[in-house]
Every structure is written in structure tokens, then in C-alpha cells.
Amino acid sequence: MSILIKNGRVIDPANKIDDILDILIEGNKIAQVAKNIKIAAKNVIDAQNKIIAPGIIDMHVHLREPGREDNETVATATAAAASGGVTTVLAMPNTNPAMDTAQNVELLKGIIKQSAKINVLICGTITKNRFGQELSDFGALKKSGVIALSDDGASVDNDVLMLEALEKAQSLNLLTICHAEDKVLAAKGVMNLGFNSTRLGLRGISNASEFERVARDITLAGKTKAALHIAHVSCRQSVLAIAQAKQQGWRVTCETAPHYFALSDDNLLGYDTNMKMNPPLRSKIDVAAIKQGLKDGVIDVIASDHAPHTEHEKDIEFERAQFGVIGLETELAVSITELIASGLLSWKRVIELLSLNPARVLGLDKGSLSVGKIADLIVISPEDQWRVEKNKIISKSKNCAFLGKNLVGRVDYTICDGKIVYQK
Ligand code: DOR
Ligand code: ZN
């Protein structure tokens, strides 16, 4: 199978390319990137006025399988991902059973082999059952193929245990991903603590519940020289703490999610539970700090934190509704709309945030369009406008924070491992 993509604007930050070019894919690899490739390919894609970029690498995705197949499955999540331009996901380990043993990882690997439409990588847990009491067997997890560790959904509260975890992870060269939340400080809150939580009569979650845990984890990363990645950064003080850690030369990286730069706690005024996630939508001041962090390089990665929940878990009283929103199908378009169309960031920078940087953080040989690499790439119509509609969502769950929103930028083709896995 060969695919020739003609006359697209190829944006490949890894190779400092931004030019009108053709790309030839042969088998599962990129065979040529050049002007006017004159080879008869089986499949020719006209990419005039379109952008060709490396596929999105989304390092924070809840697939829900095994255990919550009513929310989402590997098949439905990866189909949704492909339609959103995502070619690789890192599956978070808060499944049932959790990814805390090699045996459980093998179970998920079997499901992935059967039903995944794109690359799925697995994150193991830091502690057994994510209970924060006893460390998982990192060596066995690594052997079974996990590429990172996280108790996402929870933080390891015990400082000594977290120190030990980072030491072990560092000796095995495994990345640790931190869900930074002090549950005592979060105090059963359901939205951001501030004027809006007072107005709505809902319990608030302070910025401190996030940034104090970020500060602790950074201190431990500095002590252990371990690679640490802070997940879903939402507030200004976290951005500041991470900037300081980077200045120290510590191996600290971080991500934010599209809802943290596109929305604020003003969006909660209608008690819409599709605006409920953890960490919560913050104030406009925090949103500005997140945007600044994306611009000046403190924030390395945009990831969706795709967290599907069924209608009966979401379409209920705000306080009882589950935390989390889906994001695989909208992360690219929300990034284009909020960051590029607004003039804040360049295409190159957004592609770095969505593809090259997550590849680097995870140590993957991906995120570029170099000749000889596996062909994971996307073709985008940068000016196509569309509206997010519930009945068009591919994900099994429809808990999207952008329902009804008009977005710009749409995926025409997603090619993964040299195969067309999505076509508009
Ligand atoms: O909103 C969230 N939902 N935050 C998390 O950390 C976990 C996630 C989930 O698994 O639903
Ligand atoms: Zn989390």
C-alpha cells in the first residue's frame, strides 16, 4: 500500500519544516518528503490548502476498559481519537482492575490487540489498586510494557512512599505522572473556590489543593533526579512552581487540557455538569496564566484528559455528578480555535504541544515527519468551521464541555501506521 499526499502545508517542528510539500508513504513508513514527488501511488490525497502534521499524541486518556465498558471501550475511544487526529494515546490506569500488575496489563494488551484503531500505550499504577498504601511492582510493570506510572484520579498522599516511588521509578528510567491534588485541602469541593462557588452555593476546590501538591512532588523530583510529569495543570501558582523547577534544571514537565485554556468557572453558572471535572475550571486569571505558560514554554503538552461518563452519572444534581469530560474529538479544534485563530500561538507551537513534546516526554520515536519513521500523520482543513453536536460524537459517552460550540479546524484524514484510520 502506498499513499501520496500532494501539495499540503507540511508543518514538522522536529525538522523545522513549514513548506508546501508532498509526502509519500510506503508500507507503514514515510518514504519521501519533497516537492513534486512523481510516483504513481495507489492512493492519492489532494492536500492543497490543507495542513499535514504529525499525528496527535495524547498522553492522558481514560479508555475505561477493562471494567467500565458502559462508559467507553478501547474500540470506541480509539475510533473517537482517530476522528480527532489522535494517532497515539497513553491509557490511564484507573480501570477495573487497575493496571497495577503485569497480569492486568497483559489483559489490556490483549484487548488493544483485538480492537484498537490507533496506537495505545499503557500507564501502570504507582500503588496497588491506586490506594496509596503500597507500591506496585514497577519492574514487573515495566517488563510487561508500561511506559509510565501514575495513580491518576488520586495523588499519593504519603510523602515517604512518594519519595520511594520516585527513587524506584528513576532507577528503572520510568516517567512518573502526578495527579496533583491534596484531598484534605480539596475538602469535598465540586468546583473552583471563588466568587462563583459562593454565588452558586457549591463547595469550592482551592488552587492550593493543586499547587501545594505540585510543590511537594517537584521537591521530591529534585531530590531524586527522577523524571516527573504534572498532569492537567489548571492554576497560575502551579505554572509558577513548575517554571521555578525547570529553572533549577530538574526533570519536570507538565500538561494542561483544552478546557483549562478555553473555559473558566464562569461557564458553571448554569450548573452544567459537563463543566465539572477535576481539577475544576478555574478563574479567568488562571486561564490567562495557562495561556501564558503555553506560550512561553513552561507548559510542555496539551492532553485531553478524556474522561467518559454515562448520562446517568452526569445528568444529575451537580454535586452528585462524576468529575470528567471527554476530549479526544475536540482537542485539536479547540486548540486551533483558542490558540491559533486568536493569534496567541503559531501552528508550529501548537503541533509541538500536541505531538512532538508528548513524544519527547514519553521517550517515543514519534512526533515527527522524518523519512523512515512510522507514518502517523494527519491532514487538516485549518479553516473549516463546525459545530460540536451531541449526536455526532463517536465516543460512547457524550459528556463534552464544548457541546454547541462553533470551532474552526477539522481533520480530513488520520493516518496511523501507514493506514488511513479516519477519513472525513
Ligand atoms: O475529572 C477527572 N476525571 N479527573 C480525574 O483526575 C479523573 C478523571 C476520571 O477518571 O473520570
Ligand atoms: Zn488526574
Question: Ligand 2 centroid vs 153 CA: distance in angstroms?
Answer: 4
- d(CA 406, ligand 2 centre) in Å: 27
Mean pLDDT, the chain, rounded, equals 98
Q: What single DSSP character describes residue 321?
A: S
Asked if residues 165 and 176 have their Cβ atoms less than 8 Å apart, the reply is yes
Cell of 64: 475505561
pLDDT at 314 over 80: yes
Within 10 A of 145 (CB to CB), how many other CB atoms are there? 14
Q: What is the pLDDT of residue 288?
A: 98
Catalytic residue check, 305: yes
What is the best residue among 233, 305, 306, 397 to mutate for testing ligand 1's pocket, by most ligand atoms within 8 Å of CB?
Answer: 305
Listed residue (283, 332, 278) closest to 304, CA to CA: 332
Of 107, 102, 154, give the one whose Cα is nearest residue 124. Answer: 102
Note the pLDDT of residue 388: 98
Catalytic residue among 58, 152, 305, 376: 305
| Minimum CA distance residue for ligand 1 atom 4 | 278
Angle 222-223-225 (CA atoms, 0-180°, nearest 5)?
60
Q: What is the arithmetic mean of pLDDT over 396-402?
A: 98
pLDDT score at 7: 98
Model-level pTM? 0.98
Q: For residue 152, give the ligand 1 atom closest to its CA.
A: 6
**392 CA from centroid of ligand 2 (Å):** 27
Please name which ligand lies nearest the alpha carbon of 150: 2
Write down the residue that cell numbers 489522535 correspond to.
86
Residue-wise pLDDT for 359-381, tens only, equals 999 999 999 999 999 999 999 99
Our measurement of the distance from residue 350's CA atom to the centroid of its chain's CA atoms, rounded to an integer in Å, reads 13
170-198: per-residue pLDDT in tens? 999 999 999 999 999 999 999 999 999 99
pLDDT digits (tens, 9 = 90+) for 258-267: 999 999 999 9
What is the arithmetic mean of pLDDT over 336-359? 98
- Do 146 and 139 meet the contact criterion of CB atoms below 8 Å apart? no
- 224-247 residue pLDDT tens: 999 999 999 999 999 999 999 999
Any residues with CB less than 8 A from the CB of 89 and at least 6 apart, and which? 57, 58, 59, 61, 63, 77, 78, 81, 118, 119, 120, 121, 306, 328
104, 129, 150 from 135: Cα distances, Å: 16, 9, 11
Q: Is 186 helix (H, G, I), strand (E, B) or coil?
A: helix
Ligand 1 pocket list (CB less than 6 A): 62, 94, 152-153, 179, 277-278, 307, 323-324
- Residue 88, all three cell numbers: 497515539
Tell me what pLDDT residue 1 has: 77
Provide the pLDDT confidence category of residue 68 given band limits of 50, 70 and 90: very high
Cβ atoms of 328 and 304 within 8 Å: the answer is yes
Q: Enumerate residues 6+ apart whose C-beta is below 8 A from 147.
A: 90, 121, 122, 123, 174, 175, 362, 363, 364
The predicted-structure confidence for 18-33, as pLDDT tens digits, reads as follows: 999 999 999 999 999 9
Which of 125, 152, 275 for mutating ligand 1's site (highest number of atoms within 8 Å of CB)? 152
Average pLDDT on 392-419 reads 98
Closest CA to 152 of 46, 305, 341: 305
Position 163 scores a pLDDT of 98
77-134 pLDDT, tens per residue? 999 999 999 999 999 999 999 999 999 999 999 999 999 999 999 999 999 999 999 9
Helix (H, G, I), strand (E, B) or coil at 274: helix
pLDDT at 386 over 90: yes
Question: How many angstroms does the Cα of residue 104 sit away from the middle of ligand 1?
Answer: 20
> All domains of the chain, ordered by start, with CATH?
2-51+374-382+408-423 (2.30.40.10), 55-362 (3.20.20.140)
**What is the distance between the alpha carbons of residues 208 and 50, in angstroms, rounded to a whole number?**
43
Q: Strand pairing partners for 175? A: 148
Q: Is the peptide bond before 280 cis (omega within 30 degrees of 0)?
A: no
